[in-house]
Amino acid sequence: MAAGSISEDEFWDSVIYFLTLSDKLDRKWTVKEAKIEEEDSSTLQTDGKLEQIVLTYEFHIVYSQSYNVPVLYFNAHFQNGKLLSLEEIWDMVPAVYKERLTQDRWTFISQQEHPLLGRPFYFLHPCHTADLMRNIPALTDKRQYIIAWLSAVGPVVGLQLPLEYGQHP
**What amino acid positions are annotated as catalytic residues?**
127
Dist CA 52 CA 33 (whole Å)? 32
Category of 117 on φ-ψ map: left (φ > 0), alpha (ψ -120 to 50) or beta: alpha
Dist CA 94 CA 141 (whole Å)? 29
- Of 156, 16, 139, 32, nearest to 99 by C-alpha is 156
Strand spans (E) along 8-54: 29-31, 43-50
- Of 122, 134, 19, 136, nearest to 71 by C-alpha is 122
Task: Sheet with 43-50: list strands edge to edge.
Answer: 29-31, 43-50, 55-64, 69-78, 120-124, 109-113
Strand spans (E) along 32-113: 43-50, 55-64, 69-78, 109-113
